[in-house]
Amino acid sequence: MRILIVVWPLTAHLYPTLPVAWALQGAGHEVRVASHPDLAGTITAAGLPAVPLGTPETIASPGTVGEHLLPAGHRDRLATALGIDQDGDSDVWATVSTYTLASSRVFHPADGSAAHGWGGVDDLVAAARDWQPDLVLWDPNWPAAAVAARACGAAHGRVLWGRDYLGWACHRIDLRRAELAAAGLPDPVAEIVRPAAARHGVPVDDDLLLGQFTLDPTPADMRLPSRARTVPVRRIPYTGAAAVPSWLGARPDRPRVALTLGATQRMFDNDKVLVPSLLEMVDGLDTEVIATLDTSQLAGQRLPDNVRAVDYLPLNLLLPSCSAIIHHGGIGTFTAAVAHRVPQLVVGDELRVAYAANSAYAVGHGAGLAVDPQQQSVAEMRARFLRVLSEPSFQEGTRRLHADWLAMPSPNDTVPVLEKLTALHRTAR
């Protein structure tokens, strides 16, 4: 088979798809990965052919997400029509109504947009028609990939990198269509892809919005309500490759702790406010702290004697020697900690609402604790950290989550399922 994978241009979106891509490639299938040209080097470094969509002059930058936010008043009207204030889904809605919808709009122009803004749609459709893939796997934030699949007759499915926020939105919209209509509001998910679909003569239906199936790496009890057809797959943690530093091979003579705030937060400059409190929290403790913080995050900070700062180190190299991890709550870091059976201290505040579910899942399953530097003193945070580091119950909670993770089908296990779904849904040529 030929498989085209389309990813939104962040490594946090690319990396979760790579083990699936490698499994398909290892089974003898041809795999290509399409995205923004800025991601091409990272894709090829992972051993996969890259399909750059347009040029930096003809396709939007992923850094323009903030320009695509819905106005606050419109979000409020949507929230009222969708009944968000009536239940406990406000955190989910906060993510959907800001990052999720905005990032999906970046590469999907509205009706009447200038011709040069259609690179993320037209180049993708052209690439699919030229190469004729049998299967298109697409990031939920790039639904024009479903348009491209329809245009060439390929089977297609979404490949999630975290919780299914758009699937939840479609579910909520289904429940409240009458209220949306009464408020004079269009379907906010369908409206993202509708102009691209119309441009290429494709109807907007359930398959176009949710795929013919969805590869979902989230644990079953962490998933959001959705009508999507789910194919579970174990998320294999991968955050890039690096040379193994000489100091990492030696067995630590005191507990080693990882401290990371994630690559995505670094990109959007959301995390610097956390650094002073975290460094003060670990200062003077009988631990060896490996902090994956760069020069911008450490600017103006005093590095404690027990902290070693490294600009970047893949967690798969670092975590096997760690007794605990302090992190921001991102799903990739959370999964890496589970895969390596490392108890977690999750740091959160109002900027990290999208990660609240990951933190709650770790805490709820006894695999760690959460802290909020805006609500708790450094002394309180330190006390929680020492509990995570020393109390056996957190290691036991982590062991249970690890067993649940192992019980999910691996990417290799999923290949035969994808082959059968492709045969079922691909249009005869």
Say which CATH number the domain at 338 has: 3.40.50.2000
Full domain range(s) for residue 152: 2-235+409-425
- 256 - beta bridge partners? 288
Do residues 311 and 325 share a domain? yes
Do residues 360 and 376 share a domain? yes
CB atoms inside a 10 Å sphere around CB 190: 16
Q: What was the pLDDT predicted at 264?
A: 66
Do residues 20 and 121 share a domain? yes
Domain assignment of residue 138, yes or no: yes
Domain assignment of residue 113, yes or no: yes
Per-residue pLDDT of the chain (429 residues; tens, 9 = 90+): 999 999 999 999 999 999 999 999 999 999 999 999 999 999 999 999 999 998 888 888 888 898 999 999 999 999 999 999 766 677 899 899 988 999 999 999 988 777 777 888 999 999 999 999 999 999 999 999 999 999 999 999 999 999 999 999 999 999 999 999 999 999 999 999 999 999 999 999 999 999 999 999 999 999 999 999 999 999 999 989 999 999 998 889 999 999 999 876 565 555 667 899 999 999 999 999 999 998 888 888 999 999 999 999 999 999 999 999 999 999 999 999 999 999 999 997 655 566 788 889 999 999 999 999 888 999 999 999 999 999 999 999 999 999 999 999 999 999 999 999 999 999 966
Helices (H) and strands (E) in the chain, counts: 21, 13
In sequence order, the 6+-apart residues with CB closer than 8 A to the CB of 266 are 294, 296, 297
Helix, strand, or coil (residue 215) = strand
Do residues 271 and 221 share a domain? no
| Ranges of H-type helices in 232-377 | 263-268, 275-282, 295-298, 315-318, 331-339, 356-364
Do residues 421 and 395 share a domain? no
Do residues 210 and 75 share a domain? yes
Give pTM, 2 decimals.
0.93
Domain assignment of residue 241, yes or no: no
Domain assignment of residue 245, yes or no: no
Q: What was the pLDDT predicted at 114?
A: 75
Instruction: State the amino acid at position 409 in one-letter form.
Output: P
Q: What was the pLDDT predicted at 286?
A: 96
Do residues 342 and 401 share a domain? yes
Domain assignment of residue 72, yes or no: yes
Do residues 14 and 134 share a domain? yes
Q: Which two tokens stand for residue 215?
A: 């590869």
- Reading across the β-sheet that carries 307-309, which strands appear in turn? 307-309, 288-292, 256-260, 324-327, 344-347, 368-371
Count up the domains in the chain and report the number. 2
Do residues 267 and 230 share a domain? no
Domain assignment of residue 290, yes or no: yes
Domain assignment of residue 352, yes or no: yes
Do residues 64 and 199 share a domain? yes
Q: What was the pLDDT predicted at 147?
A: 97
Q: What was the pLDDT predicted at 350?
A: 53
Give me the sign of the Cα torsion angle 80, 82, 84, 85.
positive
Q: What was the pLDDT predicted at 22?
A: 98
Do residues 22 and 154 share a domain? yes
Domain assignment of residue 129, yes or no: yes
CA-based R_g, the chain, Å: 22
Do residues 180 and 205 share a domain? yes
